[in-house]
Amino acid sequence: MYEVLVKSDFSSAHNLRGYKGKCEALHGHNWKIEARFQKETLNDIGLTADFSDLKSMLKAALKKLDHTYLNELDVFKKDNPSAENIARHIYKELKSSVKEKDLLVKSVSVWESDASCATYFE
């Protein structure tokens, strides 16, 4: 089994509805994202997948989130835009954009600071 990782980032604002503390107020983060992909075999030239393709897929998934107020996006109208829910959302976006049927999205990690991270996987 092979695993590859690509990273990207985006900036946005959010607030956590129902949270009793300072995160209930509007605030922002420079989110760092790590997406891991898995595949059992390498292609004809010895790659799991082209890093450029994986980075492009990740950038496309993040484009809708970058420089927005996350609470106003349809995907976060019901669910809080927590790091956990953002990770799940990006995971599902990537899963739907993977074109190679034997390439799996293993996990997505969302860092809201250098010391705080949430990861989603199935």
pLDDT (0 to 100) of residue 106: 98
Let me know if 97 is exposed, middle or buried by CB neighbors in 10 A (0-12, 13-18, 19+): middle
What pTM does this model have? 0.96
> Can you give the CATH number for the domain in which 113 is found?
3.30.479.10
Region 98-116 average pLDDT: 94
Q: Is the pLDDT of residue 100 over 90?
A: no
Region 9-34 average pLDDT: 96
Q: Is the pLDDT of residue 29 over 90?
A: yes
Query: What residue numbers bound the domain in which 9 lies?
Result: 2-120
* Number of domains the chain contains: 1
